[in-house]
């Protein structure tokens, strides 16, 4: 059985499908580090946890950490130390690393207290750089003692890099960290025995491209095959959910459900199904019309989709965040999406110079596509998700989502 679960990562028996993606990733781990590129909410974290669970059977010792809450470089390293603790809580080397971490943190605090600034240009001379190397080395030794390779799964690295950009808008700290992180992956003793899987809800490739630092991630294999379920898999998934809560769904209702979701990612399927379950609990009959009512309510409330707006502001520096919002609003208005020439005019109102406008438009459209907002079809840029498009229109006051034709949009 698969539980009805909205928002949180799924583990164990609740993890559904993705067998093909898992096979390909394990193949790539034989030779490469992997940067998992996929739009938000498609299940990257759940997949990472599944890989961690299965690692021992594949000959790996695995540690999963998320660095979303790390506020500086030392915080990133401390997250790696937490990963070490999760693998072996009894070894004396952990105590020595913990003592070293405490001393390193104290050194940073003292430097800041004295008016700093703390110098971050040479990580090898910084407490966090030295400690990070030691943590990785000890993890590698631990895996070798267990006759296994090491797999380090690090979630939300792009969010952490954005945090460094907030701390230092010049980009020096983010630049230094990305170079250090690449050198850590390239440590000679790690080659062939340590693999990194890095991902996040924002594309690290986009951030590196914006900073002119793509060379710091060119040792990753770019895995971008994690997307929506096929209709067959989505139907099976909904069938399993229905069975688990005794909520039968006939074919007309199933069809309307899939049309409304359109972009069949697990999160959107779970969100609409959970809302239907709540309505069914009030004694309402399961029918296509109920799907429409629940769908409109979800879009109107918007709290499941607000993060799409918030992340624009986090990922893109001003004024690019506002440029992106204008482009998305223009792309949302016609159901078939906006022509490139239309988006040129929209951005032209903000950027007068034609060459600068065209360069900025290429960059922003690339970001909006890789982050899952837009897709191109028949020369137009349209929303990948009908649910997100209707939310965007409702948010901007441009349309009434209850009158949209989900079936027509889903075919495009």
Give a yes or no: residue 155 inside a domain: yes
Average pLDDT over residues 47-75: 93
Say if residue 288 is in the same domain as residue 314: no
Say if residue 214 is in the same domain as residue 240: no
Residue 314's domain is classified under what CATH number? Answer: 1.10.10
Neighbours of 363 (CB within 10 A): 17
Total domains in the chain come to 3
108-117, 205-214, 274-283, 316-325: which has the minimum mean pLDDT?
108-117
* Residue where a domain stops, chosen among 223, 246, 276: 223
Give a yes or no: residue 7 inside a domain: no
Q: What is the pLDDT of residue 260?
A: 95
Say if residue 45 is in the same domain as residue 115: yes
DSSP 335-400: TT-EEHHHHHHHHHTT---HHHHHHHHHHHHHHHHHTTSEEEETTEEEES-HHHHHHHHHHHT---
Give a yes or no: residue 389 inside a domain: yes
What is Dmax (Cα atoms) for the chain? 69
* Residue where a domain stops, chosen among 258, 274, 301: 301
Q: What is the pLDDT of residue 403?
A: 44
* Full residue range of the structural domain in which residue 105 is found: 18-223
Four-residue CA torsion sign, 70, 74, 80, 86 = negative
pTM for the model: 0.79
Render pLDDT for 76-120 as a digit per residue (tens, 0 to 9). 998 998 888 888 755 655 666 666 666 666 655 555 455 444 454
Say if residue 112 is in the same domain as residue 255: no
d(CA 178, CA 166): 15
Say if residue 215 is in the same domain as residue 249: no
Give a yes or no: residue 2 inside a domain: no
């Amino acid at each position: 059985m698969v539980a009805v679960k909205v928002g949180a990562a799924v583990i164990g028996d609740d993890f559904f499908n993705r067998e093909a993606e898992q096979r390909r990733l394990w193949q790539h781990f034989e030779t490469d580090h992997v940067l998992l590129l996929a739009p938000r909410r498609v299940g990257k974290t759940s997949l990472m946890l599944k890989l961690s669970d299965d690692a021992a059977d594949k000959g790996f010792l695995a540690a999963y950490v998320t660095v979303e809450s790390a506020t500086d470089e030392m915080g990133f390293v401390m997250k790696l130390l937490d990963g070490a603790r999760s693998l072996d809580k009894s070894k004396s080397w952990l105590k020595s690393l913990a003592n070293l971490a405490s001393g390193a943190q104290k050194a940073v605090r003292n430097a800041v207290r004295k008016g700093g600034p703390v110098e971050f240009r040479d990580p090898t001379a910084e407490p966090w750089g030295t400690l990070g190397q030691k943590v990785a080395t000890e993890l590698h030794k631990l895996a070798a003692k267990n006759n296994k390779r090491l797999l380090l799964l690090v979630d939300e690295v792009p969010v952490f890099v954005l945090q460094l950009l907030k701390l230092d808008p010049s980009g020096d700290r983010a630049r230094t960290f990305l170079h250090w992180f690449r050198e850590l992956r390239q440590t000679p003793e790690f080659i062939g025995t340590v693999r990194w899987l890095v991902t996040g809800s924002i594309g690290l490739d986009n951030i590196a491209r914006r900073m002119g630092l793509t060379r710091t991630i060119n040792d990753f294999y770019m895995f971008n095959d994690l997307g929506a379920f096929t209709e067959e898999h989505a139907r099976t998934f909904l069938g399993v959910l229905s069975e688990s809560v005794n909520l039968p769904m006939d074919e007309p209702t199933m069809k309307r459900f899939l049309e409304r979701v359109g972009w069949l990612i697990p999160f959107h399927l779970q969100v609409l199904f959970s809302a239907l379950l709540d309505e069914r609990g009030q004694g309402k009959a399961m029918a296509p019309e109920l799907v429409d009512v629940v769908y409109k309510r979800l879009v109107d409330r918007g709290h499941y989709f607000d993060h799409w707006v918030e992340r624009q502001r986090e990922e893109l520096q001003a004024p690019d965040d506002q440029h992106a919002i204008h482009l998305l609003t223009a792309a949302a208005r016609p159901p078939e999406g906006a022509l490139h020439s239309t988006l040129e005019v929209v951005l032209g109102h903000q950027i007068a110079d034609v060459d600068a406008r065209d360069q900025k438009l290429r960059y922003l459209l690339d970001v909006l596509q890789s982050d899952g907002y837009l897709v191109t079809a028949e020369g137009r840029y349209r929303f990948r998700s009908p649910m997100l498009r209707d939310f965007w229109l409702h948010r901007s006051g441009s349309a009434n989502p209850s009158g949209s034709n989900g079936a027509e949009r889903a075919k495009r």
